[in-house]
Structure 1
Amino acid sequence: MSDFDAIDSLLAAVGPQAGLPAPEQRRELRERARLSKAQVARALGVSPSTVAGWEKDRAPVGELRTKYAYLLDGLAAKFTAETEPGTAPGPGEVPADEPAGQAAPGSPTEPAAGGDGDEVEVLAVPQPCVLCGRPAKHRVEGFTQHLDPADCQTTAPAAPAPAKPVSTTARPKTAPAAQPSTRPSERPPGPARRAFQEPSGPVDLIGQAVQAALAEHHGDVDAATAALLKKAIPDAMRLLDETRKGARYDIVAHPWIPDILKKQTSRGADQIWEARPKWTRHDLPPGRHEVTALDINGAYLSALKTHLPLGRLEHSTGLAHDRRRAGLYLITPPAWEHEAVLPNPIGNRDEPGPLWVTEPTLRLLLRLSGPKHGLCAPPEIHESYTSGATENLLEKFRIALKDARDAAIEQDDEVTLEYVKAMYSKFVSTMGESNYNRELYRPDWMHIIRSQAFANLWLKALKAHDEGLMVVRAMGTDELHITGDWRRVFPEGRGVTEVKVKDTYTAGTDATEHTETAGEGQQ
């Protein structure tokens, strides 16, 4: 910023500020327009948590205030023009063109006082609890739940869904509104519910973006690809928004996080151990061995299917693992006595003692300690930060990317393929502390997804070992070196459930040792 820019900023701050409605009215205008906090934040260049603050007890200043006021004034003018005389809803009434279960402006879903700064809403119509499925009257940070744990039960009786009001207000033909998505209050509670509705298919955002880039750069493949890679992060977030329509759970994009997830220094790391494998077998049997280096396709894409915590992480000590929850755990890992033939499931760690691990790492250790494998003792859990969880939170997002990837491979479309790779890899890498993605700040998710990719690779090594193949090396998320007839164990191809050959070499007695350390490669 130049000196003159700094002076202009000071003058703007001293000058008259644009007028803003009260915080509750700001929120009412946004909700009536069916705009999410993320959409407003994206338009104004701020984070969703900043928008939430503006709708609670804070207000922007300077140029941001002017832009925010312009948006709110526009929404207010739009609703004033659409409301005919004599048809305006009374206080607390739901407008006839609002979907059932959605709070109307002035309805009793305003934030109530909550502990520790939580935003607790009192719902006009009870909705299914995110943990037990029974009707609950409160929503905390976007998630319907019981405030008293005693009210939270594991079984939910079937109950009829509340009837939707009949629409009596016509929408203007010049500005048709999008069909509202089905809300949780419109679905019957009980175990038969699905985490997501049957997909109607998101808009072909990926195909549209590729065609637009090619048209803008007059068919220049390299230039179009470069342009698409630069916008992969915002495009991934837009696709996520599209695939979340009709979903059962809202995403808390900027929740409170514990200190263990915060970087210890400006350039350092936090306290979470991801169990990244970096293992090479020390001793091979006598003789020469033909080794195949396999590349695991779409490792991070497959890892999007993992147990992710939904809301704010809650601290607990000395409790057993609850499979209905997910998060981060301080454990003492078990001793590993199979280093000669299989990598340690927690990766290469020099320091003994407790460490913080993610949900996939803990589940892997518990699985290996069970009666089916019996490879180690159970880990000792000391404390945890967890929340109610689901494995399908990003499933429609993952499937949309997978389908686009599969189609690009089938059509030999390298532009789309590179674009899709960038979307899911950058989505994972920038959801932590990153200046490139301010819409989603979930370092817990980033660690969990990456750890799931590492766990998936480890399980492939175990499968090869159990099938009589010799595991020679396991690295990162996508590199597995083995000997033997691997094609009878793993299908070959470019799909996310298949593997492809990265390299072949000879190792062992009287053979030239393979000293190259292959990189992780592109997924």
Structure 2
Amino acid sequence: MSDFDAIDSLLDAVGPQAELPACDVRRELRERARLSKAQVARALGVSPSTLSGWESGRDPAGEARAKYAYLLDGLNAKLATDTENRPEPAEQPMASGAAAEDVTSTSSPGSGRGEDEVELLAVPEPCVLCGRPAGQRVAGFAQHLTPADCRPTATEAPAAEQPAPQAPQAPHAVQAPHAPQAPLGTARPAGAAARSRGPARRAFQEPSGPVDLIREAVQGALGEHQGDVDAATAALVKRAIPDAMRLLDVTRKGARYDVIAHPWIPDILKKQTARGADQIWEARPKWTRHELPPGRHQVTALDINGAYLSALKTHLPLGRLEHSTGLAHDRRRSGVHLITPPEWEHEAVLPNPIGQRDEPGPLWVTEPTLRLLLRLSGPKHQLCDPPQIHESYTSGATENLLEKFRIALKDARDTAIEQGDTVTLEYVKAMYSKFVSTMGESNYNRELYRPDWMHLIRSQAFANLWLKALKAHDEGLAVVRAMGTDELHVIGDWRRVFAEGRAVTEVKVKDTYTAGSDVAEHADEGE
């Protein structure tokens, strides 16, 4: 019977797919119901980034599509009923000028917050500046909108003596389903009153932020494995990819731009064969100096800390990549470009910025590589001619799309190093390295398919290493080798050029060896 059951399941799956409204209608229904992406995604069993894709042009399939259609149909029916049954509101005078200012400040062009979106909170959250409850969130952070409301914690009276401010409510807001308000007479837990008498900033000790997610995961793994550090580390590294996606969703909450998880991708970004590569050249450095200065020298192999972590700060395209030909480079956009690279005449002392390439002629490079070549051809350096751009696939871009994600990982890494916490350190390393490496066609990360981002972030790491080589050369050091993202060999007093340490802005010694004209082994010795 099991075979027939399997066939019946296949037959049940064959049929017309559930109808879905247009993408903008899907998002409108959710927002009118005042449901967050996290709430809807949790109910559907997907990630918020996947839901963002469904609201931006990508359609779900199979059971997920049926559940999503059922939810949207229900929201549409409920909102239509609520609209019909809502009584006409009586006109009421505005309570005060300050209240009117609070309501209109979300869209005022003169508010001084640029294009940052102001979100009205149903439940006040601690202000990121002073710690007192705030009814608004700006650029993802709860904060007061006026200096008068934002008072330092040290000068305020105990919280128990002050009434909590009421969160501003949008007019005629539709109440989210399955989210009943607590009765006004509900007693507060005993611990809540005690907490309110402490400093307001203690609210940040509650496990709700990105770094708290990392700490909770580590504590949970250690508890599950009875304190076995090796077993807990192995378990955390194994789940690093889904945990990184969850962290990304949390850090994107309230952000100005949505992450489009599965956009249309041009053929040049698709693998040519199942085990092959696409057509993008990442400019990975693999260079060793041919001739050293006369004499014997002590060479120091420097290790660049957190190379991929630092490279998360790069210009990433937001929307669908658009094709263009023969246009000048637009710094407001990012993507991949078909260029003819310039001749490089400094191979004796510096690696070629496009890496070691045997074939001449045009090639597809990423935004970081193109920007590096344009920078080196500019009036400050004048090291080469400008590259010739033939065609491009680009979109509007921002350098800060992953900034909160990067900072959360950096803060957790810094704290782990300071406390000697090897479990958290290895966990964080796995999160950002696997996050980058599985963005392309990967069986390990189905939530995010952005091979363009993967190439851009990796190329940014290579460009960062190349710029460190240039800095060493300009400061009088002899550059001996540059490899990958994190290996730079130099001759000379490197400590006057680079800070030593384990922070992402510092370097540490990986190896030292002797090389020179009367030494048989050169740069490969000691590796």
| TM-score, normalising length: structure 1 | 0.72
How many Å apart are 1:503 and its aligned residue?
Answer: 0.6
How many Å apart are 1:86 and its aligned residue?
Answer: 4.0
How many Å apart are 1:7 and its aligned residue?
Answer: 2.3
C-alpha separation between the residues in 2 aligned to 1:503 and 1:365? 31
Give the helix-richer structure, 1 or 2: 2
The structure 1 residue matched to 2:504, chosen from 496, 511, 514, is 496
**CA 1:495 to 1:55, structure 2 compared with 1: closer, same or farther past 3 Å?**
closer
Q: Which amino acid aligns with 2:245?
A: M
Matched, 1:431 2:431: no
Q: How does 1:326-345 map to 2 (within 5 A)?
A: 326-345=334-353
C-alpha separation between the residues in 2 aligned to 1:51 and 1:134? 19
Q: How does 1:24-423 map to 2 (within 5 A)?
A: 30-31=30-31, 32=33, 34-36=35-37, 40=41, 43-44=44-45, 60-61=61-62, 63-64=63-64, 68=68, 86-87=85-86, 165-166=170-171, 172-173=180-181, 202=210, 204-423=212-431
Q: Deviations over 1:92-136 (max 9, x none)?
A: xxxxxxx999xxxxxxxxxxxxxxxxxxxxxxx9999xxx9799x
Q: Which amino acid aligns with 1:392?
A: N
Which of 1 and 2 has greater Rg? 2
**CA 1:56 to 1:477, structure 2 compared with 1: closer, same or farther past 3 Å?**
closer
Aligned counterpart, 1:468: 476
SS in structure 2 of the partner of residue 295 of structure 1 = strand
Q: Deviations over 1:439-484 (max 9, x none)?
A: 1111111101000000000000000000000000000000000011
How many Å apart are 1:172 and its aligned residue?
Answer: 2.1
How many Å apart are 1:385 and its aligned residue?
Answer: 1.0
C-alpha separation between the residues in 2 aligned to 1:42 and 1:287? 69
Matched, 1:505 2:506: no
Are the equivalent residues in 2 in contact too, given 1:254–1:442 (CA < 8 A)? yes
Q: RMSD between aligned alpha carbons?
A: 4.0
Matched positions, count: 429
C-alpha separation between the residues in 2 aligned to 1:287 and 1:56? 64
Aligned counterpart, 2:21: 23
Q: Deviations over 1:380-426 (max 9, x none)?
A: 11111111111111111111100000000000000000000011001
Matched, 1:440 2:448: yes
Q: Deviations over 1:6-32 (max 9, x none)?
A: 4253243369x9x96763686665443
Q: Which amino acid aligns with 1:473?
A: R
Q: Deviations over 1:297-325 (max 9, x none)?
A: 00000001111111111111111111111
**CA 1:205 to 1:252, structure 2 compared with 1: closer, same or farther past 3 Å?**
same
Matched, 1:486 2:508: no
How many Å apart are 1:435 and its aligned residue?
Answer: 1.6
Bigger drift between 239-248 and 410-419 goes to 239-248
**CA 1:52 to 1:493, structure 2 compared with 1: closer, same or farther past 3 Å?**
closer
How many Å apart are 1:254 and its aligned residue?
Answer: 1.2
**CA 1:35 to 1:321, structure 2 compared with 1: closer, same or farther past 3 Å?**
same
Q: Which runs of 5+ in 1 are unaligned?
A: 91-98, 102-124, 136-162, 177-199
How many Å apart are 1:49 and its aligned residue?
Answer: 6.7
Matched, 1:12 2:12: yes
How many Å apart are 1:34 and its aligned residue?
Answer: 2.7
Q: Which amino acid aligns with 1:279?
A: W
How many Å apart are 1:371 and its aligned residue?
Answer: 1.1
Q: Give identity over the alignment, percent.
A: 73
C-alpha separation between the residues in 1 aligned to 2:275 and 2:287? 27
How many Å apart are 1:226 and its aligned residue?
Answer: 1.1
C-alpha separation between the residues in 1 aligned to 2:219 and 2:8? 41
C-alpha separation between the residues in 1 aligned to 2:174 and 2:69? 28
Q: Which runs of 5+ in 2 are unaligned?
A: 90-101, 118-167, 185-207
Q: Deviations over 1:60-93 (max 9, x none)?
A: 44x556655776699789x69x979944899xxx
**CA 1:73 to 1:209, structure 2 compared with 1: closer, same or farther past 3 Å?**
farther
Are the equivalent residues in 2 in contact too, given 1:309–1:386 (CA < 8 A)? yes
Aligned counterpart, 1:149: none
**CA 1:260 to 1:39, structure 2 compared with 1: closer, same or farther past 3 Å?**
farther
Aligned counterpart, 1:95: none
Are the equivalent residues in 1 in contact too, given 2:284–2:462 (CA < 8 A)? yes
Are the equivalent residues in 1 in contact too, given 2:241–2:445 (CA < 8 A)? yes
**CA 1:76 to 1:248, structure 2 compared with 1: closer, same or farther past 3 Å?**
closer
SS in structure 2 of the partner of residue 213 of structure 1 = helix
Are the equivalent residues in 1 in contact too, given 2:332–2:396 (CA < 8 A)? yes
**CA 1:321 to 1:76, structure 2 compared with 1: closer, same or farther past 3 Å?**
closer
Are the equivalent residues in 2 in contact too, given 1:44–1:68 (CA < 8 A)? no
C-alpha separation between the residues in 2 aligned to 1:364 and 1:340? 19
SS in structure 1 of the partner of residue 308 of structure 2 = helix
Aligned counterpart, 1:189: none
SS in structure 2 of the partner of residue 23 of structure 1 = coil
**CA 1:12 to 1:168, structure 2 compared with 1: closer, same or farther past 3 Å?**
closer
C-alpha separation between the residues in 1 aligned to 2:460 and 2:274? 26
Are the equivalent residues in 2 in contact too, given 1:47–1:438 (CA < 8 A)? no
Bigger drift between 23-32 and 431-440 goes to 23-32
